[in-house]
Structures are given as C-alpha cells and as structure tokens.
C-alpha cells in the first residue's frame, strides 16, 4: 500500500528562465505565489540567504557530473485516462471547496537548460532555487543524450519529485527519466494543440506525453478537448488558465494618452511584420500618435527595414527589452496584439489588468477568452490588416469608446484570479494521482 510523501520537491523545467517571455512570466508568478501564499515551508537563512524578498540570486555553483547549479539559495486507455482525470479533478475540487485533504509541504525550484542572462527578467523569490543543465548557451537537442544525463543528475541530486515542463517540447528530456528516477512529469502546454512552433517534432512529443506523462495542463478548455480527442491520453488533462494579477491601487485610464503599445518577443509567432503593415495605414493619419513595440528578438533587422521603408521611424518605435513594463501600461491609450497564434497570452491579461482597451487578432487560442468584442476591446479576424487598422482608427477617434472599454476591462476577470489558479495548481501538485508512489 502506498502512502503520501512527507514533502514534495517540484521543479519547473525551462529552456531559459531568465528570458522575458510570457511563459517565463507566468511560471515565475506561480512559483512566487506559492511561496507568498505560505504553501511552502520557510527555509533556513543558510538555504535562502536570509531573505524572502524576490531575488535574482548570486553566482552559480557546479554540481557533480558537470551540471551547474544557480543558487539563491484503445478502450482500456480511454478508461484509464478518465479514471486518472477524475482523481486529479476531484483533488482540485476538494481543495477549492475547503476539503480536509492535507497537503504535504512543497519545495520549489527552477531548472533551465541554460541561462543566457546574468539575472532573470522577472524577479524570483529567494526561497526558490535555480539550477542549470549547461553553464552556457547550448542547444540541448544537438546533445540529446548528454542533456538527458545531465538533467537526470540534477533530478537525483536535488531529489526532485515532480518535473513541470513549462514548454511541452522539454518532455523529450524529462519523460526518459521516469523509470530510472521515479520522477513524475507534468507537461504544461503554452501553445495551442494545432501549432508546432520552433521544432517539427513538437507534435510527436505531445503524443509521447499523452502516453507517458502523469498529467497535462492546458491553458484553455478548448485546448483540453483537442488533446483528449486527438491523443487519447492515459493521464489527466486539466485546463488551468494563466493568472491575471489585479493592479492595486486600481489603475486609472489615461484618456489623454496618444501612445499605442504592443509587446512580446520579436518572432514570427507574434506577427510584428503584420503590425508594421497596420501601422502604415494608421499612423500617417494621426501624426500626434506613436506606437511602441516592447521586446527583443531575431526579427529585429527585418522589422527595422520594414519600418524604414514605410517611413514610420518617428512614430513606430522598437524599444527593445524594457524593465518597467508597468510604466508603459499606465501611460498607454490601448494595447494591440497581432499574433498568428497563442496559448493564452499573458500580454493581454496584463493589458486587461491595467484596464487598457485591447485590439487583437482573434487567433487560435486565447484572445476570445480574454476580450469581449465591443465590450472591452476589438477582436479582428486573423491576418485582416485593413480591418485591424480600421478598428484602431475607430478607437483613436472615439475617446468615449476607449473610456468605456477601460471601465469594462475587468468584466469576467474573476476566472483569471491568481488565488484561484494557485489553488488549482497546488491541488494538482499535491493530488494523490501525482504525489503517491
């Protein structure tokens, strides 16, 4: 007979947790929230550096085996999937309804393939430790077996109980460890099922996770259904959205602002090439307005060339990576998203939290779950440059509409409550389906 573990070490596995993307943002937000909600035990001053405030941490240390540590301290399958899903969902429900299920204490850490930046873009609580598989930027797939070996060393040395892969493609490194280490693997999908960005083998990894992972977490209910219909998983598939952190004091919309903002990594997915085409239709008609693109990435040279060719250099500005996103949100008139595809975009949740009117392509998936068309924003058919330009023109010219959208920005925001989502994650991490050996 199995018995619950006395404590659970949960490690979030990332490509690079120091990056400034939405995936890193929400993962760190969740980890910090677990700490601040007192779901984690307090560490000693020696382990935590004597502080509980967010910290990027001091220098990295080498583990055994050349691994580096950054310290701050067909019907049967369907039946099995339904049974496992029921266990996890009952655990979540039990937690949310105040049941008597006793959660063991959690220890939390991040494991990255590498860390390209000297400190994380988003601050990590000092009680959350950080580890790296490689000391420098390394493409793990080119050294696949070495990567698996190094990750195994960390999992065994740090006695990791649960690996949460914050990009499904990382399942290829963690799933092989299940038999030799006993580690449980949760695959956290941040894209939608129909998209396979970055690597051609993502689809194969998803099917592998459906057979071998201990749970799959999607960001939307629609994506959960896609997983269940297409992969017939043997593990629970649970939809837990990204959280929206309410801003206090409540934001006051700046009706006098003449600034449009967009943010994200400068990559094909984010569609900033289409944004330039939209801006070319909008900005010349409104010379007193400017449009800021906040973020950095490989598409910068192409975007700079397009901006120059469109003669928009004085109004459409690539700011690069910024550290004070909240200041930009507070001073903006609206937020625009031109992504080709998403999971559940954190940038829209942040814009919503700051009570900004939103104009977004209604790509698959996410925008329609965050924005109500005509109530707190404008949803545009994906790729429709002319319509998006027209919707932005409409908001620029209609101050009353912008104010109305800002007033209704928090409509239905409770379903993105950080406290609720942290409880859902805590219940999953502590569920009998995950914690019992």
Q: What is the number of structural domains in the chain?
A: 2
Q: What is the DSSP string of 62-118?
A: EPGGG-EEE-----HHHHHHHHHHHHHHHHHHHHHTT--PPPPPEEEEEEES---SS
Looking at the fold, whether 290 and 218 belong to one and the same domain comes out as no
Question: Residue 316: how many CB atoms within 10 A of its CB?
Answer: 24
Three-state DSSP at 61 gives strand
Q: What does the pLDDT average to over 398-402?
A: 98
Distance separating alpha carbons of residues 11 and 157, to the nearest angstrom: 13
Looking at the fold, whether 396 and 422 belong to one and the same domain comes out as no
Residue 28 belongs to what H/E stretch?
Answer: helix 22-36
What's the token pair of residue 261? 């903002």
Q: What does the pLDDT average to over 336-351?
A: 93
75, part of any domain: yes
Distance separating alpha carbons of residues 33 and 400, to the nearest angstrom: 37
341, part of any domain: yes
- 52: pLDDT strictly greater than 70: no
28, part of any domain: yes
Distance separating alpha carbons of residues 60 and 56, to the nearest angstrom: 11
Predicted local distance difference test score (pLDDT) of residue 434? 65
Looking at the fold, whether 288 and 312 belong to one and the same domain comes out as yes
Looking at the fold, whether 428 and 403 belong to one and the same domain comes out as no
Looking at the fold, whether 401 and 428 belong to one and the same domain comes out as no
Looking at the fold, whether 312 and 393 belong to one and the same domain comes out as yes
Mean pLDDT of the chain, nearest integer = 84
Looking at the fold, whether 167 and 285 belong to one and the same domain comes out as no
For 196-205, the CB contacts below 8 A with 24+ separation are: 197/268, 197/269, 197/341, 198/169, 199/141, 199/169, 201/169, 201/172, 202/168, 202/169, 205/168, 205/169, 205/171, 205/172
Looking at the fold, whether 216 and 297 belong to one and the same domain comes out as no
- 75: pLDDT strictly greater than 50: no
Give the CA count within 13 Å in the CB-facing half-sphere of 58: 8
DSSP E strand boundaries for 114-232? 129-132, 162-165, 184-188, 215-218
In this structure, the chain runs to a length of: 437
386, part of any domain: yes
250, part of any domain: no
Spatial neighbors of 83 by CB under 8 A, at least 6 apart, are none
Is 188 in contact with 168 (CB distance < 8 Å)?
A: yes
Weakest mean pLDDT among 18-22, 41-45, 200-204, 296-300: 41-45
pLDDT: is 83 or 244 the higher one?
A: 244
Interval 134-160: pLDDT, tens: 999 987 778 999 999 999 999 999 999
Give the rounded percent of residues in the chain with a pLDDT score beyond 70.
81
86, part of any domain: yes
Q: What does the pLDDT average to over 390-407?
A: 98
Looking at the fold, whether 274 and 391 belong to one and the same domain comes out as yes
Distance separating alpha carbons of residues 303 and 306, to the nearest angstrom: 5
Residue whose structure tokens are 């894209």: 191
Predicted local distance difference test score (pLDDT) of residue 257? 98
Looking at the fold, whether 426 and 407 belong to one and the same domain comes out as no
Distance separating alpha carbons of residues 258 and 266, to the nearest angstrom: 23
Three-state DSSP at 377 gives strand
| Domain housing 51 | 8-243+417-435
Give the rounded percent of residues in the chain with a pLDDT score beyond 90.
66
Residue 375 belongs to what H/E stretch?
Answer: none
DSSP 201: T
1, part of any domain: no
Residue whose structure tokens are 């071998």: 212
Q: Which of 300, 250, 269, 126 is nearest to 196 (CA)?
A: 269
Distance between start and end Cα atoms, the chain: 10
Is 92 in contact with 427 (CB distance < 8 Å)?
A: yes
Looking at the fold, whether 238 and 265 belong to one and the same domain comes out as no
Looking at the fold, whether 357 and 426 belong to one and the same domain comes out as no
254, part of any domain: no
Q: Any idea what the CATH number is for the domain that residue 363 is in?
A: 3.40.50.2000
């Amino acid at each position: 007979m199995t018995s619950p573990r006395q404590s659970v070490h949960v490690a979030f596995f990332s490509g690079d947790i120091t990056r400034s993307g939405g995936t890193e943002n929400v993962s760190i937000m969740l980890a910090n929230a677990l700490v601040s909600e007192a779901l984690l035990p307090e560490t000693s001053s020696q382990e935590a550096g004597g502080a509980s405030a967010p910290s990027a941490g001091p220098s990295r240390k080498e583990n055994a085996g050349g691994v580096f540590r950054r310290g701050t301290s067909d019907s049967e399958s369907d039946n099995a999937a339904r049974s496992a899903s029921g266990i996890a969902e009952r655990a979540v429900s039990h937690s949310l309804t105040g049941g008597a299920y006793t959660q063991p204490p959690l220890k939390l850490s991040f494991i990255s393939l590498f860390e390209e930046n000297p400190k994380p873009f988003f601050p990590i609580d000092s009680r959350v430790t950080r580890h790296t598989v490689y000391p420098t930027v390394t493409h793990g797939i080119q050294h696949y077996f070495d990567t698996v070996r190094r990750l195994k060393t960390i999992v065994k040395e740090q006695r990791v109980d649960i690996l949460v892969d914050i990009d499904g493609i990382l399942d290829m490194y963690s799933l092989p460890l299940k038999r030799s280490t006993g580690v449980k693997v949760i695959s956290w999908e941040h894209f939608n099922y129909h998209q396979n960005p970055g690597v051609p083998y993502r689809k194969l990894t998803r099917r592998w996770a459906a057979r071998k992972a201990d749970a799959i977490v999607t960001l939307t209910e629609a994506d959960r259904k896609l997983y269940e219909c297409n992969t017939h998983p043997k593990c629970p598939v649970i939809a837990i959205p990204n959280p929206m952190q309410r801003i206090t004091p409540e934001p006051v919309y700046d009706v006098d602002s003449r600034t449009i903002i967009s943010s994200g990594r400068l990559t094909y997915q984010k569609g900033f090439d289409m944004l330039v085409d939209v801006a070319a239709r909008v900005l010349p008609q409104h010379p007193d307005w400017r449009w800021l693109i906040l973020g950095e990435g490989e598409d910068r040279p192409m975007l700079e060339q397009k901006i120059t060719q469109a003669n928009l250099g004085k109004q459409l500005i690539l700011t690069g990576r910024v550290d004070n996103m909240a200041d930009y949100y507070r001073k903006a008139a609206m937020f625009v998203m031109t992504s080709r595809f998403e999971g559940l975009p954190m940038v829209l949740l942040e814009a919503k939290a700051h009570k900004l009117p939103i104009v977004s392509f209604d790509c698959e998936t996410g925008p329609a779950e965050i924005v109500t068309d005509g109530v707190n924003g404008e949803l545009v058919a994906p790729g429709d440059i002319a319509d998006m330009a027209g919707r932005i023109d409409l908001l620029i010219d209609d101050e009353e509409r912008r104010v109305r959208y800002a007033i209704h920005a928090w409509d239905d925001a409770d379903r993105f409550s950080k406290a609720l989502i942290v409880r859902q994650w805590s219940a999953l991490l502590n569920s009998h389906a995950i914690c019992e050996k």
